[in-house]
Amino acid sequence: MKCPTCKTEMPCATADHHYKECGLDNVYLRGIEIHRCSCGEEIVSIPAVTKLHSLIGQILLKKRSILDGKEIKFLRKNLGLTGKKFAEFIGTDNATVSRWENETQSISKAHDRLIRLVYSTIKGIPQEEIKSVIQQDFAAISDEKIEPQPFSIPCEQWSGGDICLPESP
């Protein structure tokens, strides 16, 4: 691959990548191809982004604390919904969704769970998996706001065929 800045060949290496581009601060990808040029240019090659985002969404569904603003925004955008449409789905208004996403208003436990269920349903997650999340994970969701824990995902878990959930983040 040629560097878009200086037009020289960019060597490729496999490395870990802090995936801030998804809008979350705690996602790390393992084994990603990264092209680095001596001029400082860097191009990260992330395969199967749609599958990756589905996997991240599934990890967020199982999170054991209330969703934070960035996580709500990630789920909404991953559904391809505007704030207004998302608000209609969960029975609130666009301004409330905006306040949740910008963390100027706390989200209720009920809305947190509703967002997870709406996401699961729209994404077509099998009913047995949704039932498992409800039975095992919903009761364990803490009311306390907990700093999101970093989690890393090996490239093989989403770039191949089926999505495999990593061990608990």
pLDDT tens digits for 58-117?
Answer: 999 999 899 999 999 999 999 999 999 999 999 999 999 999 999 999 999 999 999 999
Q: Domains of the chain: which residue ranges?
A: 1-48+149-169, 65-145
The pTM assigned to this predicted structure is: 0.87
Is residue 168 predicted with pLDDT exceeding 70? no
Averaged pLDDT score across all residues of the chain = 89
Contact residues for 36 (Cβ-Cβ < 8 A; gap 6+): 10, 11, 13, 42
Proportion of the chain in helix, strand, coil states, percent, rounded to 5: 45, 15, 40
Question: Could you read off the pLDDT of 31-59 as tens digits, one per residue?
Answer: 999 999 999 999 999 989 999 999 999 99
SS3 144: coil
Please report where in the chains the tokens 């364990």 appear, as a residue: 140
CATH ID of 65-145, from 3.30.830.10, 3.40.50.2300, 1.10.260.40, 3.30.230.70:
1.10.260.40
Burial of residue 20 (number of CB atoms within 10 Å: 0-12, 13-18, 19+): exposed
